[in-house]
Amino acid sequence: MTIRFDNRVAIVTGAGNGIGKSHALALAALGAKVVVNDLGGTRDGSGGSLSAAETVVQEIKAKGGDAMANGANVAKYNEVEAMIEDAKKKWGRVDVLVNNAGILRDKSFAKMELDDFRLVLEVHLIGSVNCCKAAWETMREQNYGRIVLTSSSSGLFGNFGQSNYGAAKAAMVGLMNVLHHEGQKFNIRVNTLSRPRRRA
């Protein structure tokens, strides 16, 4: 069976590079229209630029796909709501949501400032919650939705210096488990992805 997303609209957060970019390119290759969301900041969340997202959009269009760039900060619900509305204005629907945006502020727990702990949770966890919440009613009305949350071996098994990141990534599993049950009758499927743990 060939999986296609023709006439579907996908939003991928953190899609300016890395895994998010791979998701965006893959979905476009399968026929989806893609919102390439990326704040364009550094790995620790500072700064911002739309250039990375725009570069991915150009790459998708060069291959015959359709995409738009978006610089919403996923930690801000009003910006996420506006992103969803922009997608619906342009294409009429939102079918797929890949929550991939994230930052790193690694330090041992003893040395970590609580502000750095909160900020990582805000981007990874609350950012994913914001995106799911903003898209949820549209997906219910359509009776169709596909949501992916991005976890990590740091959350599932632990990793030194990443108490903030690990806590956020472990929370993805709990969020998935509840949304799976609540979305079932509306044909909304929710999954979590994680890279395998590195061997010592």
Residue 191: beta bridge partners? 148
Query: Between β-strands 67-70 and 9-13, what pairing exists: parallel, antiparallel or unpaired?
Result: unpaired
How many angstroms separate the CA atoms of 175 and 169, rounded?
A: 10
Selecting among 165, 166, 169, 172, the annotated active-site residue is 165
C-alpha closest to that of 154 among 163, 142, 146, 145: 163
How many angstroms separate the CA atoms of 22 and 154, rounded?
A: 21
How many angstroms separate the CA atoms of 177 and 10, rounded?
A: 22
Q: DSSP alpha helices (H): ranges in the chain?
A: 18-29, 51-62, 77-91, 114-121, 127-142, 153-156, 163-183
Order the strands of the 33-37 sheet from edge to edge.
Answer: 67-70, 33-37, 9-13, 96-99, 145-150, 188-193
Is 144 one of the catalytic residues? no
Report which residue type is found at 13: T
* Pair 171, 198: CB distance under 8 Å: no
Catalytically active residues, by annotation: 165
